[in-house]
Amino acid sequence: MSEEVFDRGRRTISGCGLSGMMSLTGERVDGRAIRASIALLHERSNGLGGGFAAYGIYPERRDHFALHIMYDTDEARRRTESALEDDFDVAQDERIPTRPHPGIVNPPSLMRYFVLPRASRLEEDGATAEDYVLARVMRVNAEISDAFVFSSGKNMGAFKAVGYAEDIAAFFRLDEYEAYIWIAHGRFPTNTPGWWAGAHPFTLLDWAVVHNGEISSYGINRRYLEMFNYQCTMRTDTEVMAYLLDLLIRRHELPVEVACDVLAAPFWEQIERMPEERRRLYSALRQVYGGALVNGPFAIIFARHGEMVGLNDRIKLRPLVAARKDSWLYLSSEESGIRAMCARPDLVWAPRAGQPVIGRLGSEVVAGEPAHGGRIAVGQEATSE
């Protein structure tokens, strides 16, 4: 997993491909469609990383936190498993199933553990189960060399590696899993190394995020997060996105729409032109959450249980396309990526800059969908009536 092994000395302009699909009714499908989508975006990546997140894949262990952990050494595994035994009741541990693939070389040891916080330790901490798990994940990633927890949610999992995304899907046997949300990423790193733990998606608890672009505010975002005991250890800017989502939505209980207004906040000149009530709200958000504002070009897809969201930066410097077909929501960097998942969508549109597209389980309404229906040409912003 060391960056020296996987970096390959490449430094080229940004690409990255994103795809996501969600059943608003909770219908689960295997990973073949999402693999086809990200494979079609092959030229947006360069083989230095890719991955997937899937929701609803462990129904028989739905109440357990599923820890996916990669190890470079036996000593790292020994130390980590000792820590897990101290802090958790481990219901099951096993190797993550894989199949050999010529495009995936030198894989680390890949394990998963279905755990619950040990009741006595949880009571001593006086924390929620989620904060308890968060603290232990941060500790492993920061303090145990050659061990990385790359997924820690309930009834979901992340699968990532160095390689092309379609090869990673085959390696992790994603055709054998069924999920109602799939998100995928093909990586084209620019300023950070290609290494296993640094591939997308980035996760924390049941949050998963894939990202195309660069976060120029990384230093500010990182220092802001450290005030709330988050530790950035993966040496890539996207990591802050997952932690900001957890902080804003889970811990501070902001609605998703408001959290998106923090991450991709309107410019001050736009705020000054707003009606008084909205101006006061957005001014307060900018003042209170200035350290959480994400600057730089980005398009992201993020998910948690029951929700999938697509979001651009506030001037839309990275592509993102959305589509609907019956009870399915699709997101991708390109319309071609959507049509690999759904050949004939009912509606295709380009989300507006800084305006989220939000699909929620059990709701036929998708926030950010154009109100007038019909097909909107990609590259043309949707408008509401």
Which of 13-17, 68-72, 196-200, 268-272 comes out lowest in average pLDDT?
A: 13-17
> Catalytic site residue 260?
no
Q: Which one from 16, 232, 260, 342 is the annotated catalytic residue?
A: 16
Nearest to 21 by CA among 246, 303, 344: 303
Q: pLDDT tens digit string along 253-272? A: 999 999 999 999 999 999 99
The CATH H-level superfamily of 3-212+296-360 is Aminohydrolase, N-terminal nucleophile (Ntn) domain (3.60.20.10)
d(CA 37, CA 166) in angstroms, rounded, equals 9
d(CA 262, CA 248) in angstroms, rounded, equals 9
Q: pLDDT tens digit string along 42-85? A: 888 887 889 999 999 999 999 999 999 999 999 999 999 999 99
Mean pLDDT of 7-23: 70
How buried is 93 (Cβ within 10 angstroms: 0-12 exposed, 13-18 middle, 19+ buried)?
middle
Contacts of 47 (CB under 8 A, 6+ apart): 103, 162, 163, 164, 194
Does residue 264 or residue 16 have the better pLDDT? 264
Q: What is the pTM of this model?
A: 0.91
Give the residue extent of every domain in the chain. Answer: 3-212+296-360
